[in-house]
Chains A and B, each alone.
Chain A
Amino acid sequence: MSKLTYALYTGCTAKESTPELLSSTLAVAKKLDIEIVMLDEASCCGASHLQDFDEMLSYVLNARNICYAEKRGLKMITICNTCQLNLMTTKHKLDTDPKVKAEVNKRLADVGLEYKGTVDVEHFLYALIDDYGLDKVREKVKVPLSNFNIAPFYGCHNIRPSELHQHDNPYAPTSLDDLIAALEGNSVDYESKNKCCGFHVDLQAPKTSNALSGGALIDAIDNDADMMVTPCPLCQLNLDLKQDSAGKQLGRDIELPVLHLPQLMALALGCTPEEIGLKYNVTDATKFQLSIES
């Protein structure tokens, strides 16, 4: 079998405030012998906000992003739920609405590009499940995570709308639980795992955001979670960074490390502390590194 090769769309967060996401993703790919080609031409996807200002502009920029994966003839993978949904929404629109596709392509022609619709766009989590296989991931585990209760937090934009996402039942998703099981961790069953973290209104409605993120964290804590794990860096930021303000609003002390999915995998696959980057997590997560080393 030839080597799995993907075009990686990093998104902005992995290049800026969550460098640990990018380093752990690349480290995991290396351990699994997956080749990653960086999409250096890519721009921001608009993070579901640009479309509110100018929907057409959002389609054009995301179509351009996909064009560069098409040029390389590679499946495009993402490591952020919101990037995934924005790219998927654009792909779906262009693949089903010839009028919009023609309008977008007219503009892309000015810069010598054409959107064809020839490649798939998939989140890393689902690419691993579909193309690599969780059984093979299990074989590569060096440090079983059996000492940890891990609360999976799916993040809205990987499971809803289910018309676009074909993998999980949005009311009872299992993919992240399955991956945790493959890493031999104990996945925590709790009601908030498929709920919203509130990230997208953090600026204009911090109370809503805190109520949603704080509620999910407390739910995980009360179900004996040692940590939370999420495939989305926006969920990760909101859940990791805002624990003090959410706790203050909800009248509870909240302290729960929140890991990116590739960080959790990197721990189990035996990547280096530098690659895993737990020192960057705001709520202290370095204890997991120590616990694994001892």
Chain B
Amino acid sequence: MKHTLEEVKEEVFKLNKEEHSPDFEHPIKVKLKTFRFNAETDYLPHYKTYEMTVTKDELMLDLLNRIKWEHDGSFSYRRSCRHGICGACGIKVNGKATLACKQNAQELVKLFGDELVIEPQSQKRAIKDMIIDKGDFWQKHADVKPYVDADIPEHPTEETRISPERNELFLDSDYCIQCGGCHYACPVLEVNEDYLGPAAFVAAYRFSIDPRDKSSQERLETTAELGSGVWDCVKCNECVEACPKDLDPFEKITKLHNMQFEQGVAKRNVATKHAEGFTRSIKKYGFLDEQDIVMYSEGLGVVKHMSEALKMIKKGKVHPFDVMKKKMPRSKNLDEIRKLIKTSQTNKL
């Protein structure tokens, strides 16, 4: 069937109309409550509200441009590619990590209402308005050797072949554009400066899984350190939510944990024993023995939990003699669970 140009245009218009709810089909008025700060001249930051009418196709980057072009030429932000590939224009909108050039503005109005709060990724690192000092991010990225470390001759006679299956394993990690969205959404980095953070972990995973690379062991050791490595992850999934490329940093953190055990890098410490210790209880009871897991993981360090243990005993929440008397709840069909652990467990500590 032949279509005229007019018919095609009409079809596209209809599709667009279906995609956006009727409320958002037309331009809408928004207030942009915007963080303003100049580290060279200002004592404190302040917020300035700009009002504008936003059409359904405008991106957050368009709105940043309009603040600068229509309201205040001194407004500062990083921008470059406008195609979601350079990672320069990361900001926060109502606390949500946002890559300005990828984020439709009306979608955020749907989420948060017509007042959008525009802030830099990290207020304590603000230099000017949206521009922050990303030095800590780049240092941590560099700390995990974010490149393939391989002895490849200058004039190779044949190419290094990577199977499609292996390629699949690191494909999505390659999409990371170092925008810093996950890094500055991570609550651990807010309270622990030594922590490497989700973006560095994604890079560590990506290059450690590469068959050409010879620094995998070193990277796994770096990311296994207590205090800075993956064991300090609180599992909040803020990084997953923040990533504009949907590459699930938390999944990569789990993979790094697994690789520590698979490759024998995991040392016996409170964190590794805690992860492994679950199988101990589950084999015995099906359930987790909450008292045993703390004692097993901590070893002699268990004494530091005494005051809390006493509080729980006093309230009747735990019974100190349960452990000895084995008054633990037990799963029905426990033999199935034991058999499954036997057939499914591959890792060891």
Contact = CB atoms under 8 A, between A and B. Distances in A.
Interface of A: 12-13, 15-19, 40-44, 46-57, 60-61, 64, 107-108, 110-111, 113, 156-157, 160-163, 169-172, 195-196, 198-201, 203-205, 207-209, 211-212, 241-242, 244-245, 279-282
B331 A41 contact: yes
Nearest to A162: B241
Contacts of A208: 188, 191-192, 232, 234
A53 B347 contact: yes
B332 A40 contact: yes
Contacts of B226: 204-205
Nearest to A195: B187
Contacts of B341: 57, 61
B234 A50 contact: no
B340 A17 contact: no
A241 B237 contact: no
Contacts of A40: 331-332
A53 B230 CA distance: 12
Given A196-B234, A280-B315, A47 B331 contact: no
A107 B275 contact: no
Given A196-B187, A200-B234, A52 B258 contact: yes
B62 interface: no
A57 B96 contact: no
A126 B269 CA distance: 38
Contact of B344 (A107, A160, A163, A282): A107
18 contacts: A40-B332, A43-B287, A44-B282, A52-B275, A54-B345, A61-B337, A64-B340, A110-B339, A160-B236, A160-B241, A170-B241, A171-B94, A171-B111, A171-B241, A196-B187, A196-B238, A208-B188, A282-B315
A174 to B, nearest CB: 12
A61 B344 CA distance: 9
Most chain A beta-carbon neighbours within 10 Å: one of B112, B227, B287, B341: B287
Given A55-B258, A156-B235, A170-B241, A47 B317 contact: no
B297 A203 contact: yes
Contact of B346 (A13, A56, A281): A56
A279 B316 contact: yes
Interface in B253-268: 254, 257-258, 261
Nearest to B312: A17
A207 B190 CA distance: 12
Nearest to A201: B234
B195 to A, nearest CB: 8
A261 B23 CA distance: 36
Interface string B307-349: 1100110011110000000001101110011011101111101
Contacts of A162: 241
Contacts of B282: 43-44, 46, 50, 61
The 4 closest A-B pairs by CB, nearest first: A160-B237, A52-B257, A196-B236, A53-B275
Given A16-B318, A17-B318, A52 B241 contact: no
B290 interface: yes
A108 to B, nearest CB: 7
A55 B254 contact: yes
Contacts of A44: 278, 281-282, 286-288
Nearest to A191: B95
Contacts of B287: 12, 15-16, 43-44
B204 interface: no
Q: For the side of the interface on B, what is the size category? A: 35 or more
B31 to A, nearest CB: 16
A199 B234 CA distance: 7
A172 B297 contact: no
A241 B250 CA distance: 27
A18 to B, nearest CB: 7
A156 B288 CA distance: 21
Nearest to A284: B315
Contacts of A46: 278, 282
A47 B288 contact: yes
A15 B278 CA distance: 16
A157 B237 contact: yes
Contacts of A244: 307
A103 B66 CA distance: 54
B64 interface: no
B200 interface: no
A241 B308 contact: yes
Given A204-B226, A208-B234, A280-B316, A111 B339 contact: yes
A53 B257 contact: yes
A61 B191 CA distance: 34
Contacts of A169: 111
Nearest to B283: A43
A17 B294 CA distance: 13
A57 B191 contact: no
A211 B344 contact: no
A244 B328 CA distance: 29
